[in-house]
Structure 1
Amino acid sequence: MREYLKFYIDGQWVEPVSLKTLDVINPANEEVVGKIALGGEADVDKAVKAARKAFATWSQTTREERLDVMQRVLAEYQKRFGDLATAVTEEMGAPASLAQRAQVPSGMGHLATAIGILKDFKFEEDRGSTMIVKEPIGVCSFITPWNWPLNQIMCKVAPALATGCTMVLKPSEVAPFTGQIFAEIMHEAGVPAGVFNLVHGDGLGVGVPLSTHPEVDMVSFTGSTRAGIEVAKNAAPTVKRVHQELGGKSPNIVLDDEVFAKSVAGGVRQIMTNSGQSCNAPTRMLVPTKRMDEAIAAAKEAAAQVTVGDPTGNAMLGPVVSKTQWDKIQGLIQKGIDEGATLVAGGTGRPEGLDKGYYVQPTVFANVTPDMTISREEIFGPVLSILGYEDLDQAIAIGNDTEYGLAAYVNGADLAKAREVASKLRAGQVSINGASDMTAPFGGFKMSGNGREWGDFAFHEFLEVKAVMGYAPKQAAE
């Protein structure tokens, strides 16, 4: 049983102002596996003031000093790799293989990437007699989700550290263990007091004060669009910068070619990764209507190969994170059935043989139409909707017919055609044939958010631009 009843503020583990606690549930067996303290406005104020004090010195550090600190953090992170992987599986149900292969390495990857970028990043630029200077924005508050906890923590913390910002982190109260271990990593790495602070809590108790606090210069939030709107509203009176990575309903356009069946099967496997709990998951697969029967056959076969069970074992799919999520997913699966979509695989209820834990059957619907609920709402579970298209213009139109625009996918043998389709999709990140790149900017169009994470684009989110005119004397006229 884990008990995390202190917060990390100003380089120390401190008692909460008011001791309220929350049980943490293991979604695989529905048992209490830990307890955290829930912070409030007074705790947030202490953390923000510590970050504000530390900003005076951390913002003035050299590139080399920050690189040294970040490399020490990376070394400590590597030491705690196993602890982090165990925590991810315990708190949100990620299969052990996924935790070790992707969940934990993703955070490490963002840190290593930021270190590489910092070595050559240009914080100053001469423009004649004017010097353009990029300076750290200040104190940042980070509100991170439970689905990829380390990925989302590190793709905010790493560029903030690199650019000279200080910060307060609120990890998800649903999956707080990794955030706690990460704070221990920062402490062991010798990150200067106040540069990094952690306060556990829920959205109302900690998220709102972090969004409204007048001494916070930037709030970066990852989560649902609904919650992101509230964060933006709360931040508006203090005119702080708001960075958001929100929901998605990403299209996956499968081209009409000789690798069609392979592309369909790959799309099924991708949606099942992390139990479908990824904001950029390719949840809407678009296939030529004339090949719908082939798509159904390929998808059914691929779904049948997905094993579901105890995440500490060899199952490909663990549970979803909570009963709240399980209930929501079940309701949307039933909605798909009620609205007339063809149920190809899965359905409501737990998989056979699992009577405890928040397990969802790998579910595939076909003959889905763009107006159906399962085609429009973010399900955030292992549920795929297959829609038909008559030609690529229609496929692109259907793909763009969503309030979201986080990601999109194109799969097929004809690279030129795939590139053409990608150029017309309204999304912040488009992947052709499964390509990925940790240095590529990640973020959304429309209601999927604003700003970008990952790589050098993330650095700019944490910088203010200052123009110093007359910095260099003008050349004397000849």
Structure 2
Amino acid sequence: MLHTRQFYIDGQWVDPLDQGEANTLDVIDPSTASAFEKIALGSAADVDRAVAAARRAFPAYSETTIAQRIDLLQAILDVYRKRYDDMVHAISREMGAPLQYANDAQAWTGVAHLETMIRTLDTFEFESMKNGILIRKEAVGVCGLITPWNWPALQITTKVAPALAAGCTMVLKPSELAPLSGLIFAEILHEAGVPAGVFNLVNGEGRTVGEAMSCHPDIDMMSFTGSTRAGVQVAKAAADTVKRVHQELGGKSANLILEDADLKQAVMRGARACFDNSGQSCDAPTRMFVPRAREAEALTYAKEAAEALKVGPASAEGIDLGPVISEGQFDKIQRLIGVGIEEGATLVAGGAGRPDGLKDGYFVRPTVFGKVTPDMTIAREEIFGPVLSILAYDSEDDAIAMANDSLYGLAGYIQSGSIEHAREVARRLRTGTIYLNYADYNPDAPFGGFKQSGNGREYGEFGLEDFLEIKGVVGYEG
């Protein structure tokens, strides 16, 4: 039974300092819009306890050997595999991922990134010499980690694993909307033998626990994944203590279907990629650019792709898309679909309201808009739902200019019949990660964004680097 009314601090499950019923929160099943669990919400005082534990643990843990950290990460991976089914069902229930998707994608990313960090740590050079100077990379210190609800296992492992690999200690605040996977992860780390105080977890809301972490004088680094709006708040709260702030924020990723691409395949795969996870991925290809001369044909293919998807409860068989996470998110998506229609975009598929036959739960119809122009709200705002905007271009230069005309720069997608052509276009996009011809997900690729999509990088050696400080020892060679 999960410790839903407790926090994990200093190697044990502890009660919140304030145990009143007012300091609890219902966990909602988005497939039913009904509460199925309740968690405790922490306070600044609970954060103080967790940070103090992490600070005490830091001197000893930061001096552990690479071999010891590899053994620890391997033990975590072994227990994670043992608890895999628990993670799958928790993620599916709390954030609405269909069970098959939760198994094949959501929970799998935790395995993938633990394996990648073990491999990375085994070959990473923490010391090197340059002109008689010892260049040493050391743990940044005590880290505050804030993770989102849309990819719980992914985001927790891509912060906790590199922090442990670097020799850091930490306090994790999972999303209060999807907290159960975080509690399971804490149980995994406890069973794997993570030393007391190295990893701590406090559940709570951003305006209380998140803010207390961000401004805490004994936290050396904040690593935050979430909306750009919330990322700005974290950075402002952290500024007074001059701590490092790593941010992976919003996106409005462009998918450039070049003239030499197989249009039908490119459009249908691109639409499905946009709708995956019910559109709740920050790097989803939500802006599709197609040659103007073939715009009508592209809309036909996108409509076909959208209408082929089956939407339903996460636990049902044969479901492609589950619900979106919450009533607030559902209302936002519905509002933006309405704005798209009001501003003159052509509704090709889907639209407002729930799919037929679904009265309860936060279900959204996979929606495609055509005749979208770059100034429209749906081409500029991150919707975070299964809504695809298709824009036509007159030339390749025009397409690249429109793709780059965004506040965001998290991911980009390029489809071409020529890999050389795709590579050439990739150099011109101002975005952190680019996928050519729907390349497979790769946990070694750097992940993070340009512009208001954040700063810093996650995954593999790039994620490890972000949890390290650089020390130069001058005169080391005498």
Q: TM-score, with normalisation over the residues of structure 2?
A: 0.98
Give, in angstroms, the shift of residue 3 of structure 1.
Answer: 6.2
User: 1:321/1:414 Cα in 2 relative to 1: closer, same or farther (>3 Å)?
Assistant: same
Please report the RMSD computed on the Cα atoms of aligned residues, expressed in angstroms: 0.9
Give, in angstroms, the shift of residue 15 of structure 1.
Answer: 0.7
SS at match of 1:247: coil
Aligned partners of 2:403 and 2:132: how far apart in 1? Answer: 48
Question: Does 2:43 correspond to 1:40?
Answer: yes
Give, in angstroms, the shift of residue 2 of structure 1.
Answer: 6.4
Match of 2:402 among 398, 412, 415: 398
Partner of 2:386: 382
Match of 2:223 among 204, 212, 220: 220
Partner of 2:327: 323
Question: Does 2:166 correspond to 1:163?
Answer: yes
Which deviations, in whole Å up to 9, do the C-alpha atoms of 1:103-144 show, x marking residues without a partner? 001011111100001011100001232111100000000000
Aligned partners of 1:27 and 1:199: how far apart in 2? Answer: 23
On the 8 A contact 2:323/2:362 being kept in 1, the answer is yes
Which aligned pairs between 1:231-246 and structure 2 lie closer than 5 A?
A: 231-246=234-249
Give, in angstroms, the shift of residue 413 of structure 1.
Answer: 1.0
Question: Does 2:474 correspond to 1:450?
Answer: no
Give, in angstroms, the shift of residue 255 of structure 1.
Answer: 1.1
Question: Does 2:66 correspond to 1:66?
Answer: no
On the 8 A contact 2:261/2:415 being kept in 1, the answer is no
Partner of 2:82: 79
SS at match of 2:158: helix
Give, in angstroms, the shift of residue 437 of structure 1.
Answer: 1.6
Question: Does 2:371 correspond to 1:363?
Answer: no
Partner of 1:103: 106
Aligned partners of 1:310 and 1:131: how far apart in 2? Answer: 57
Quick one: which amino acid aligns to residue 341 of structure 2?
I
Aligned partners of 2:412 and 2:220: how far apart in 1? Answer: 32
On the 8 A contact 1:277/1:382 being kept in 2, the answer is yes
Partner of 1:306: 309
Partner of 1:476: none
On the 8 A contact 1:274/1:318 being kept in 2, the answer is yes
Contiguous gaps of at least 5 residues in structure 1: 474-478
Which aligned pairs between 1:258-337 and structure 2 lie closer than 5 A?
A: 259-313=262-316, 314-337=318-341
SS at match of 2:134: strand
Give, in angstroms, the shift of residue 257 of structure 1.
Answer: 2.7
Question: Does 2:453 correspond to 1:440?
Answer: no
On the 8 A contact 1:134/1:463 being kept in 2, the answer is yes
SS at match of 1:119: helix
On the 8 A contact 1:3/1:34 being kept in 2, the answer is no
SS at match of 2:408: coil
Quick one: which amino acid aligns to residue 451 of structure 1?
G
Aligned partners of 2:332 and 2:471: how far apart in 1? Answer: 47
Q: Runs of at least 4 residues of structure 1 off by over 2 A? A: none
Contiguous gaps of at least 5 residues in structure 2: none
Aligned partners of 2:3 and 2:354: how far apart in 1? Answer: 30
Quick one: which amino acid aligns to residue 95 of structure 1?
P
SS at match of 1:471: coil
Partner of 2:209: 206
Aligned partners of 1:85 and 1:65: how far apart in 2? Answer: 29
Aligned partners of 1:175 and 1:453: how far apart in 2? Answer: 21
Which deviations, in whole Å up to 9, do the C-alpha atoms of 1:386-439 show, x marking residues without a partner? 000001000000000000000010012121211111110000001101113210
SS at match of 2:8: strand
On the 8 A contact 1:346/1:364 being kept in 2, the answer is yes
Which moved further from structure 2: 302-311 or 220-229?
A: 302-311
Aligned partners of 1:310 and 1:23: how far apart in 2? Answer: 19
On the 8 A contact 1:24/1:174 being kept in 2, the answer is yes
Aligned partners of 1:25 and 1:71: how far apart in 2? Answer: 33
On the 8 A contact 2:26/2:38 being kept in 1, the answer is yes
Which moved further from structure 2: 3-12 or 210-219?
A: 3-12
On the 8 A contact 2:256/2:413 being kept in 1, the answer is yes
Aligned partners of 1:338 and 1:179: how far apart in 2? Answer: 40
Give, in angstroms, the shift of residue 207 of structure 1.
Answer: 0.1
SS at match of 2:80: helix
On the 8 A contact 2:3/2:183 being kept in 1, the answer is no
Question: Does 2:420 correspond to 1:428?
Answer: no
Aligned partners of 1:236 and 1:205: how far apart in 2? Answer: 17
On the 8 A contact 1:320/1:326 being kept in 2, the answer is yes
Partner of 2:17: 17
On the 8 A contact 2:3/2:13 being kept in 1, the answer is no
Give, in angstroms, the shift of residue 147 of structure 1.
Answer: 0.2
Which aligned pairs between 1:77-156 and structure 2 lie closer than 5 A?
A: 77-156=80-159
Aligned partners of 1:288 and 1:14: how far apart in 2? Answer: 59
Aligned partners of 2:229 and 2:16: how far apart in 1? Answer: 29
SS at match of 2:210: helix
Which deviations, in whole Å up to 9, do the C-alpha atoms of 1:320-361 show, x marking residues without a partner? 000000000000001011111111100000000100100000
State the identity %.
59
On the 8 A contact 1:96/1:312 being kept in 2, the answer is yes
Aligned partners of 1:31 and 1:416: how far apart in 2? Answer: 51
Aligned partners of 2:123 and 2:290: how far apart in 1? Answer: 44
Aligned partners of 1:69 and 1:99: how far apart in 2? Answer: 26
SS at match of 1:431: strand
SS at match of 2:123: coil
Aligned partners of 2:68 and 2:261: how far apart in 1? Answer: 54
Which moved further from structure 2: 253-262 or 69-78?
A: 253-262
Quick one: which amino acid aligns to residue 241 of structure 1?
R
Quick one: which amino acid aligns to residue 387 of structure 1?
L
SS at match of 1:238: coil
Aligned partners of 2:376 and 2:394: how far apart in 1? Answer: 18
Quick one: which amino acid aligns to residue 64 of structure 2?
T
Q: TM-score, with normalisation over the residues of structure 1?
A: 0.98
On the 8 A contact 1:2/1:34 being kept in 2, the answer is no
Quick one: which amino acid aligns to residue 458 of structure 1?
G
Aligned partners of 1:341 and 1:2: how far apart in 2? Answer: 47
